Amino acid sequence: MTSKTETSAAPDAYAQLVSHARETGLFAGILGLLDWDERTKMPQAAGPHRADQIAFLAGQIHRRQTDPRLGELLGELAATDLAADPHSDAGANIRLLQRDYDKKTRLPQELVEELSRLSVLGQQVWSAARADDDFPRFLPVLEQTIALKRQEAAALGYDDTPYDALLDEYEPGESTANVARALGGLRDALAPLVEQIVGSQQGPSNEIMLRDFPKDAQEAFGIEAAAAIGFDFAAGRLDDTVHPFCATAGPRDVRLTTRYNERDFGDAFFSILHEAGHGLYEQGLLGEHCGLPIGEATSLGVHESQSRMWENQVGRSRAFWRFMTPKAQQHFPAALAGVSAEDMYRAVNTVAPSLIRVDADEVTYNLHICIRFDLEKQLIEGDLAARDLPEAWRAAYQRLLGVTPPNDAQGVLQDVHWSGGSFGYFPTYALGNLYAAQFFAQAARDLGDLDEQFARGEFQPLLDWLRTKIHRHGRRYSAAELAQRITGKPLSHDDWLAQNTAKYGELYQL
Ligand code: ZN
């Protein structure tokens, strides 16, 4: 075949490729909706049939992603003009679909099925083991999971460590060494800051947060706040769940969820802002690219940077509470009578080392992640035996946070991730915090006085900036490329540390 013929055949092959990917995307949206329903509205008795439905759809998606016809189309397109620029619409789609196809087809079907079976079993065993504080019951299935994840890494291939292959699933293109560098630097700088905060006698109190906050009023206020920062409730909704998450059923259908604690205002409020941050990213992806790589989020770390920015850099700022406090008082006239904006700002920014990751404050949260990253890397690299994990966990908590879990339920058994085989996921939480700070520092340089804007309830300039710089590109740029393009430097903990040292230095009079 001459190159002329190849080029003229390319548009047809590309149209078929796009059509194939879009149809796979339709399945993925249906799966997202079923998953959302399972975790919010589904009657309990529907569980077994729902599991069949989800397994069936996941199988269909996997079959489509490994379809030899997809490989042929990608092969036809590889050397054409359409693929020449890796960051053009077509070039990015071809490059990333090829990347996904290569990864999926490297995994033997038996291993995929075994991993999926063990993930379901692992979560069931973990749930029971956590309820009974019984790590030994969880140990055999954890050992099997680690062994399979090592097989998975070997099948996928890696340069330095098997952990690279697993990390790539959540943070494409990122390396273990680079994450270890960023988190190691953060941990070393963070430990003395936490020590100073704990030693301070001058810190704020969270007493205001622990008053009576009726559920219905919390929901109404949460919706008002999410709408204020730009979440479009004509293209999304908020529902109750047990473990808050954000699910996407389609480009104009983004589902936020939360849970309410009537004696702790912060629980639901900041989880709503957090999930709304994820939702804003999903609503900011371009619907015309739905189902294609350039219409998908680029990494979990970047996703988390969006949720964390709205939760922390915006939602825990003094300016935000100057705008929000009078509105909060309309929803909670009894609890917040006589409370000033400054009182609210101080109450939502208390720091205290704790045992549980999901309850951690803005400052100590990253230490919980550093501990998990370090341990799971050792588990996958074979430097730590699973049976020694509880002791290693306790030692790390004592060393970094100064607290020791009284049992494994509040220690090594607290998170679901490892039971489902999600090794390589944890660091994306901390990467999200670092990217949030780095992007926010640049937004502040680009947009002028953000505090003045927030105090007036103007969040659109920041949202537009995020839409232009991040959301509309989908996966066109990796997380590392976005950081470089937007901020002119690679991933770093500098901005996070500067922002938090200044903020908590003032609050705790350090
Ligand atoms: Zn999140």
In whole angstroms, give the CA distance from residue 79 to residue 6: 9
Q: State how far the alpha carbon of 33 is from the alpha carbons of 110, 116, 254, 256, in Å.
A: 27, 20, 9, 12
* Residue 38 CA, ligand 1 centroid: distance in Å: 19
In whole angstroms, give the CA distance from residue 199 to residue 194: 8
At 502, give phi and psi (nearest 5°).
-65, -50
Yes or no: say if 356 and 414 are a contact pair by the CB < 8 Å rule: yes
Q: What length does the chain have?
A: 510
In whole angstroms, give the CA distance from residue 117 to residue 373: 25
In whole angstroms, give the CA distance from residue 15 to residue 24: 14
pLDDT tens digits, one per residue of 229-264 = 999 999 999 999 999 999 999 999 999 999 999 999
The SS3 call for residue 240 is: strand
Q: Greatest CA separation found in the chain?
A: 80
pLDDT score at 51: 87
Yes or no: say if 327 and 221 are a contact pair by the CB < 8 Å rule: yes
Give Cβ neighbours of residue 12 (< 8 Å, ≥ 6 apart): none
Q: Which residues pair with 250 in a beta bridge?
A: 253
- Return the C-alpha torsion angle 366, 371, 375, 380, nearest 10: 10
* Residue 415 CA, ligand 1 centroid: distance in Å: 14
Q: Comparing C-alpha atoms, which of 431, 491, 493 is closest to residue 186? A: 493
pLDDT at 2 over 80: no
pLDDT tens digits, one per residue of 394-425 = 999 999 999 999 999 999 999 999 999 999 99
In whole angstroms, give the CA distance from residue 251 to residue 236: 10
pLDDT above 70: percentage of residues in the chain: 98
Yes or no: say if 431 and 176 are a contact pair by the CB < 8 Å rule: no
pLDDT-based confidence at residue 9 (cuts at 50, 70, 90): confident
Question: For the residues 18-25, what does the mean pLDDT come to?
Answer: 98
Give Cβ neighbours of residue 23 (< 8 Å, ≥ 6 apart): 64, 291
* Residue 14 CA, ligand 1 centroid: distance in Å: 34
pLDDT score at 11: 87
Yes or no: say if 360 and 354 are a contact pair by the CB < 8 Å rule: yes
pLDDT-based confidence at residue 506 (cuts at 50, 70, 90): very high
Fold of 176-507: Neurolysin; domain 3 (1.10.1370)
* Residue 178 CA, ligand 1 centroid: distance in Å: 22
* Residue 384 CA, ligand 1 centroid: distance in Å: 28
Q: Position 131: which residue type?
A: A
pLDDT score at 7: 54
* Residue 68 CA, ligand 1 centroid: distance in Å: 35
Yes or no: say if 351 and 500 are a contact pair by the CB < 8 Å rule: no
Q: State how far the alpha carbon of 116 is from the alpha carbons of 7, 109, 119, 422, in Å.
A: 41, 11, 5, 11
Yes or no: say if 373 and 186 are a contact pair by the CB < 8 Å rule: no
* Residue 278 CA, ligand 1 centroid: distance in Å: 7
Catalytic residue among 152, 174, 275, 282: 275
pLDDT tens digits, one per residue of 97-151 = 999 999 999 999 899 999 988 998 999 999 999 999 999 999 999 999 999 999 9
Question: For the residues 301-318, what does the mean pLDDT come to?
Answer: 98
In whole angstroms, give the CA distance from residue 266 to residue 260: 9
Yes or no: say if 126 and 408 are a contact pair by the CB < 8 Å rule: no
* Residue 277 CA, ligand 1 centroid: distance in Å: 8
3-state per-residue secondary structure call for 429-449: HHHHHHHHHHHHHHHHHHHCC
In whole angstroms, give the CA distance from residue 50 to residue 99: 31
Yes or no: say if 307 and 439 are a contact pair by the CB < 8 Å rule: no
The pair of structure tokens assigned to 4 is 């002329």
pLDDT at 6 over 70: no
pLDDT tens digits, one per residue of 483-503 = 999 999 999 999 999 999 999
Number of C-beta neighbours around residue 94 at 10 A: 26
* Residue 501 CA, ligand 1 centroid: distance in Å: 23
Long-range contacts of 55-63 (CB under 8 A, 24+ apart): 55/116, 57/27, 57/30, 57/31, 58/31, 58/116, 60/27, 61/24, 61/27, 61/28, 61/31, 62/104, 62/112
Number of C-beta neighbours around residue 44 at 10 A: 5
Yes or no: say if 195 and 400 are a contact pair by the CB < 8 Å rule: no
Question: For the residues 30-47, what does the mean pLDDT come to?
Answer: 94
pLDDT at 346 over 90: yes
Number of C-beta neighbours around residue 57 at 10 A: 16
pLDDT above 90: percentage of residues in the chain: 95
- Mean confidence (pLDDT) of the chain: 96
Q: Report DSSP letters for 92-150, one per residue.
A: HHHHHHHHHHHHHHHS-HHHHHHHHHHHHHHHHHHHHHHHTT-HHHHHHHHHHHHHHHH
In whole angstroms, give the CA distance from residue 436 to residue 440: 6
Which residue carries 């293209």 as its tokens?
235
* Residue 430 CA, ligand 1 centroid: distance in Å: 11
Torsion sign (Cα): 344, 207, 264, 217: negative
pLDDT score at 5: 45
Yes or no: say if 115 and 421 are a contact pair by the CB < 8 Å rule: yes
Which of 41-50, 208-217, 336-345, 383-392 bottoms out in mean pLDDT, i.e. has the lowest?
A: 41-50
Q: Position 265: which residue type?
A: F
pLDDT score at 8: 65
* Residue 246 CA, ligand 1 centroid: distance in Å: 8
User: Domain residue spans in the chain?
Assistant: 176-507
In whole angstroms, give the CA distance from residue 158 to residue 168: 10
At 237, give phi and psi (nearest 5°).
-155, 170
Predicted TM-score (pTM) of the model is 0.96
Number of C-beta neighbours around residue 104 at 10 A: 17
pLDDT score at 1: 41
The verdict on whether 224 is a catalytic residue reads no
Residues with CB under 5 A from ligand 1 (ion): 304, 307
